[in-house]
């Protein structure tokens, strides 16, 4: 695969340029205010970690459900920023998110943020990047603007990517453990929408049982600690509020959401027309997942089509949620010949945040097509390749 290595090296130079451009665009106009670092959009470093941190704070309080009230939470953030009117944010994740966030609230916000990012990057390096032997491939993981987006937002993306890879490697060796790890993904429901379908299609019932058991246990632990009220409030206030956000997104945020619904809506197609287009994409994604999972027994192709189609299916998706897809495309690059079309798809995906900024300005609804391209790439390779049982280059052991 020397030709692939050389292509990746060349694209890495483009990624480096894109990374610098993306960093400049994000930090231009930044300032310090009341001891906090805010960018030109009035967002703190770790804009999503700010919510995560307050989930942790709420975890230690008597009535955490009140944080789902946007008026109350806005007051909390105003106080946190020393009276500064911070950009609107809301709670949109289920209450068991607090169980993960609780330890981070025991220290200062910036200390917690550094610990969180350091831990995330270490796990990402150990369980994903380090499993690829070629320096060019490893460099590509660090140079993609997708990783930079994860860092400045402070999301769970790297940890979720690690969980997905460990699940892939353990679902046939230690199915119950894999299922319990799947339960952890329920804190971000949109990243695992097709998991039950994938497990049933591939007959991995022990994993399905472990995931069900883990999810129920996670839910019961949350109720035992915080009561049922946060869940009721989440269903009545948090989840509906998240749906309303979809039709009132700022242009910059909308550009970082590579879904058919948001792509066409921001391009001026109207919500109904955009929804119809998205439904067509959803049906196509489901058909692709079912077809490939039934057509091949190779678990990498089954797993990769499930992941790709999951991100095509959900109407709410931020680009940082797709960090696991870097592992998918790098695995294909390391094992299969890159045609001109595949090289183009790979480059567009690795540069996706840049495209996400440019396309809405030009009113072009196309960033979701990069995922469509990956799905086509996977489908062609899955149907043409010989049956492989395991990719040694991405093998991970929990031992």
**Chain segment 25-67, per-residue pLDDT in tens:** 878 888 888 889 888 888 899 999 999 999 999 999 999 999 9
Dihedral sign (CA 375, 381, 383, 388): negative
The percent of residues in the chain predicted with pLDDT above 70, rounded, is 94
Q: pLDDT tens for residues 8-24?
A: 999 999 999 988 988 88
Q: Are the C-beta atoms of residues 309 and 372 closer than 8 Å to each other?
A: no
Q: Among 266, 237, 264, which residue's Cα sits nearest to residue 249?
A: 266
**Which range among 80-89, 149-158, 362-371 shows the weakest confidence by mean pLDDT?**
362-371
8 Å CB contact between 257 and 319: yes
Rounded to an integer, the average pLDDT of 142-160 is: 94
The neighbouring-strand residues paired with 36 are 33
The confidence score (pLDDT) of residue 140 equals 96
**CA dist., res. 388 & res. 189, Å (int):** 30
DSSP 268: T
pLDDT tens-digit readout, 292-317:
999 998 999 999 999 999 999 998 88
Give me the number of domains the chain comprises. 1
Domain that holds residue 370: 2-389
- SS3 category, 115: helix
Per-residue model confidence as pLDDT tens digits over 311-320: 999 988 899 9
pLDDT band at 397 (very low <50, low <70, confident <90, very high): very low
**Helix, strand, coil fractions of the chain, as percent rounded to 5:** 75, 0, 25
For residue 374, tell me if it sits in a domain. yes
> What span, in angstroms and rounded, lies between the C-alpha atoms of 14 and 9?
9
Q: Would you say residue 30 lies in a domain?
A: yes
Closest CA to 227 of 103, 96, 90, 102: 96
d(CA 143, CA 146): 8
- Look at residue 2 in the predicted model and tell me its pLDDT: 79
8 A C-beta contact, residue 6 and residue 134: no
Q: Let me know: does 328 contact 308? Beta carbons within 8 Å.
A: yes
In a domain, residue 320? The reply is yes
- The whole-angstrom separation of Cα 223 and Cα 49 is 23
Asked if 5 and 343 touch (Cβ cutoff 8 Å), the reply is no
Question: Can you give the length of the chain in residues?
Answer: 399
Q: What pLDDT is stored for residue 25 in this prediction?
A: 80
How confident is the model over 358-383, as pLDDT tens digits?
877 777 778 899 999 999 999 999 99
Q: What is the arithmetic mean of pLDDT over 147-157?
A: 94
Residues 143-181 as b/e (b if ≥16 CB within 10 A, e otherwise) read bbbbbbbbbbbbbbbbbbbbbbbbbbbbbeebbebbbbb
What is the pLDDT at residue 250? 66
Q: Is 321 helix (H, G, I), strand (E, B) or coil?
A: helix
Strand partners, 44: 38
In order of 184, 192, 217, 382, the CA distances from 206 in angstroms are 17, 17, 16, 25
Tokens of 46: 């770790």
User: Is 398 within a domain?
Assistant: no
The answer to whether residue 396 sits within a structural domain is: no
Q: Is residue 397 part of a domain?
A: no
- Residue 312 CA to residue 369 CA, distance in Å, equals 9
Task: Flag whether 240 is in a domain.
Answer: yes
Predicted local distance difference test score (pLDDT) of residue 22 = 84
Q: How far is CA 366 from the centre of its chain?
A: 19
pLDDT number for residue 252: 67
């Amino acid at each position: 695969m020397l030709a692939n290595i050389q292509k990746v090296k060349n694209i890495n130079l483009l990624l480096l340029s894109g990374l610098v451009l993306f960093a400049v665009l994000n930090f231009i106009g930044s300032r310090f205010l009341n001891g906090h670092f805010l960018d030109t959009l009035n967002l703190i470093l770790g804009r999503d970690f700010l919510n995560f941190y307050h989930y942790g704070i709420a975890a230690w309080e008597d009535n955490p459900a009140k944080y789902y009230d946007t008026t109350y939470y806005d007051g909390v953030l105003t106080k946190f920023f020393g009276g500064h009117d911070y950009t609107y944010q809301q709670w949109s994740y289920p209450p068991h998110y607090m169980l993960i966030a609780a330890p981070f609230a025991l220290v200062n916000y910036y200390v917690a943020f550094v610990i969180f990012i350091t831990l995330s990057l270490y796990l990402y390096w150990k369980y994903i990047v380090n499993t690829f032997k070629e320096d060019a491939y490893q460099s590509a993981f660090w140079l993609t603007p997708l990783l930079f987006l994860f860092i400045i937002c402070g999301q769970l993306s790297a940890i979720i990517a690690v969980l997905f890879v460990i699940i892939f490697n353990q679902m046939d060796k230690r199915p119950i453990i894999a299922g319990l790890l799947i339960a952890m993904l329920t804190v971000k429901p949109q990243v695992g929408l097709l998991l039950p379908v994938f497990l049933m299609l591939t007959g991995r019932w022990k994993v399905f049982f472990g995931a069900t058991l883990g999810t129920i246990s996670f839910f019961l632990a949350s109720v035992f600690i915080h009561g049922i009220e946060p869940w009721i409030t989440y269903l009545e206030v948090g989840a509906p509020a998240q749906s309303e956000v979809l039709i009132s997104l700022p242009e910059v945020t909308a550009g970082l959401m590579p879904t058919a619904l948001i792509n066409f809506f921001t391009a001026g197609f109207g919500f109904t027309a955009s929804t119809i287009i998205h439904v067509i994409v959803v049906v196509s994604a489901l058909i692709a997942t079912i077809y490939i999972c039934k057509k091949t027994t190779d678990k990498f192709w089954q797993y990769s089509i499930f992941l790709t189609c999951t991100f095509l299916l959900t109407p709410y998706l931020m680009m940082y949620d797709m960090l696991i897809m870097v592992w998918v495309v790098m695995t294909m690059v390391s094992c299969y010949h890159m045609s001109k079309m595949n090289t183009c798809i790979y480059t567009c995906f690795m540069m996706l945040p840049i495209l996400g900024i440019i396309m809405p300005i030009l009113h072009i609804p196309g960033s979701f097509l990069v995922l469509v391209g990956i799905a086509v790439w996977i489908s062609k390779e899955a149907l043409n390749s010989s049956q492989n049982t395991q990719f040694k280059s991405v093998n991970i052991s929990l031992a």
